[in-house]
Amino acid sequence: FGAQEPYLPQIEDMMKLIGDEYAWIGQNVSGDNNDRTHHFNPIFYRKERVELLDYDTVWLSDKAGEPGYGARSCRLFTWAKFRDKKTGKIFFHFNGHYDHRGYEAKVAASHIVLDMIRRVAKGMPSFVTADYNSDDKSEAYHVLQSSVLLEDSMLAAEKAVNKQYQSHPSYRPAEKLPANGRHIDHLFYTPNSVKINYWELVIKAYKGKYGSDHIPIFVDCL
């Protein structure tokens, strides 16, 4: 699974709970992986099920650790190449975070994502998880959705659960907000090589608390 914006202390807390089963990879947006005051966009993976073959960071900027294309903050994508130990299939996971303000930066990020998938995955099955800070009416979204390369998994799923809710309720119960279906978080995939069986916006709280101002997306695929 991909996470956006956890700080190192949060990742350490998560690993205390899941570390025996999982490992993670990623780079701090500051460029310093020991930095505890800036965030990561890590990919977590279950060691028993998948083997990590390769990974890297792609900066949404001309220089690591600095904002680019008019962005307000530094942004990046982490990608990982995995082999499914059960099936032998190889796939890629791209995980990142678009800027929350810069229009040009968001559109540029979508073009960088497409170029990154072409260069890195080279036609292999791929998933792109991110806080896009862009809904389905934005140009940044349409650059991805209108490409031949990627498709929004929610639109392709045989069953989509809770899609009427907002993906960014800002720590409030999604059920108590207007059910306008505005999503700024999406899971894109390569439709030529993957079938989406099930999509869900996971609105369940933990002991009445939400761990994020965004809601996780879960996908079952083949």
**What tokens appear for 89 in the block?**
């299939």
Q: Which residues are CB-neighbours of 201 under 8 A, at least 6 positions away?
A: 161, 162, 163, 165, 167, 174, 183, 215, 216, 217
Mean pLDDT of 104-122: 97
Res 63: pLDDT: 84
**What tokens appear for 4 in the block?**
């956006």
Mean pLDDT of 69-82: 95
Hunting for tokens 């505890």 — which residue is that?
36
pTM value surpassing 0.75 = yes
pLDDT digits (tens, 9 = 90+) for 130-144: 999 999 999 999 999
Res 76: pLDDT: 96
Q: Which of 53, 57, 54 is nearest to 30 (CA)?
A: 57
pLDDT digits (tens, 9 = 90+) for 42-60: 999 999 999 999 999 999 9
Write out the E strands in the chain: 22-25, 43-46, 50-59, 76-84, 90-97, 126-131, 151-152, 159-161, 185-189, 196-201, 217-221
